[in-house]
Amino acid sequence: MGNNSATFGLNGENYEYPVMSGSEGPDVIDIRKLYGQTGAFTYDPGFTSTASCESELTFIDGGEGILLHRGYSIEQLAEQSSFMEVAHLLLRGELPTADEYSDFTNTITRHTMLHDQLRGFYQGFRRDAHPMAIMCGVVGALSAFYHDSTDINDPAQRMIASHRLIAKMPTIAAMAYKYSIGQPSMYPDNELSYTGNFLRMTFGVPAEEYVVNPVIEKAMDRIFILHADHEQNASTSTVRLAGSSGANPFACIAAGIACLWGPAHGGANEAALNMLHEIGHPDRIPEYIARAKDKDDPFRLMGFGHRVYKNYDPRASVMQETVKEVFAALNVNDPVFDVALQLEEMALNDPYFIDKKLFPNVDFYSGIILSAIGFPTSMFTALFALARTVGWVAQWNEMISDPGQRIGRPRQLYTGPKQRDYVPVGDR
């Protein structure tokens, strides 16, 4: 195997494993035969050293702060592209031609309505239900309504399910919001863009015409692009794992939504803005930095740190610029932005954050923009789920199309009691 192999010694025996190279990024040691040959497992909680799949979708160089979707940098996509183009790129493999773009947006637009009986689901939730709780339930329930797109072995059905999920997510999220504030939900308007339609369904009311602000539409579209995919993060891995058993796509995406909800993942945008409000004034920043550094205090700077980025998250830079654009368009100036800027500066000059390579991530600034646009914090993670659906369905399709795909089934290091005899209750 020459240089393209890794030698591994165990109990006096040497074993050789092939080393695989991707188009970018570190090599990987193919240890698939390791258990069969050595009888030993590898131990990697949190999967910090484990590649779970091959993928052509997204590449991250965490050290350099690079994020590419099928080779295109996130900065160029955020600046020049649209969310629908990025969706096409991720799902179909290439940026669309003008005709493909028109076909694709037309297809997505025609799938935005929900089955009317699904609307009844919302009434079953308490009025104060978290939108993510509603999203988990309603997206999972799609499988009960769209039986004609749940055969995962049929590529055409897989594509229809993917289009449905991407198209219906804005409607589902907007309806969750409308339900929480007691307003009637809005039907989609096919004349509007994907993002303009979502803004109208969220902020419009049937009694008045809603005029989409093009600056806000552009900013929101860019936020969707920034969240579209991020290789094998926790929720995407959840979608892949759920899908590996052959579960239907709607159930898999509902599983992804559940995972995304956690504050260490998509829930961080909500937590970050709550934290900035709690800090309230730049004078209090040192107190919070001290708490974040204190090993005995569970507090962490929300929106800071990342498993993969050990440099500035490129999405956070675009977000920071977008805050300025949105503030100018809406003529607002939220003091929380000053707190965020100063917190960032202080943290980036503090040895604790420098040594641990902790930088702002995508969630640090997104909440400030979303709040300025008018979204309550409880909707932030739902918006993330809406955008990430594109990545989830693209990754799910990639996995199902892979002929080598097998059910995901990690092993464990068992540390419980050894085998012992059952003792009847009276003798214990």
Catalogue the active-site residues.
Answer: 306, 363
CA-wise closest residue to 84 among 387, 402, 323:
387
| 256 interacts with ligand ACO by CB under 6 A | no
How many CA atoms lie within 13 Å of 218's alpha carbon, on the beta-carbon side?
15
CA angle, corner 117, sides to 113 and 118, nearest 5? 60
The radius of gyration computed from the CA coordinates of the chain, to the nearest angstrom, equals 23
**Closest CB to ligand ACO belongs to which residue?**
305
Q: Are 260 and 235 in contact (CB under 8 A)?
A: yes
Beta strands in 340-407 (DSSP E): none
DSSP 296: T
Residue 252 Cβ, how far from ligand ACO at the closest point, in Å? Answer: 19
Interface positions, 338-367, toward ligand ACO (CB under 6 A):
356, 358, 361-363
Question: Closest separation between CB of residue 132 and ligand ACO, Å?
Answer: 14
Tally of CB atoms within 10 A around 251: 18
* Dist. CA 119–CA 133, nearest whole Å: 15
Which of these, 257, 129, 118, 112, lies nearest to 181 by C-alpha position?
129
Comparing CB distances to ligand ACO, the nearer of 174 and 259 is 259
330 vs 217: CA distance, rounded Å: 12
Q: Tell whether residue 268 is a contact of ligand ACO (CB under 6 A).
A: yes
Pick out residues in 369-408 that bind ligand ACO (CB under 6 A): none
Q: Is 304 in the site for ligand ACO (CB under 6 A)?
A: yes
Interface residue with ligand ACO, options 306, 322, 368, 392 (CB under 6 A)? 306
When binding is defined by CB under 6 A, the residue of 249, 303, 314, 391 that contacts ligand ACO is 303
Among 57, 142, 302, 382, binds ligand ACO (CB under 6 A): 302
What string marks each residue from 307 to 326 as x (binds ligand ACO by CB under 6 A) or -?
x-------------------
Selected range binding ligand ACO among 167-175, 237-245, 264-272, 319-327, rule: CB under 6 A: 264-272
Question: Do residues 60 and 49 touch, judged by C-beta distance below 8 A?
Answer: no
User: Among residues 186 and 253, whose Cβ is nearest to ligand ACO?
Assistant: 253
Q: Which of 70-78, 147-155, 213-221, 300-308 is the region at the interface with ligand ACO (rule: CB under 6 A)?
A: 300-308
Helix/strand/coil for 220: helix
Q: Which is nearer to ligand ACO, 140 or 305 (CB)?
A: 305
Those residues with Cβ within 8 angstroms of residue 136's Cβ, 6 or more apart along the chain or in another chain: 254, 257, 258, 261
Residues that bind ligand ACO (CB under 6 A): 46, 264-266, 268, 292, 300-307, 356, 358, 361-363
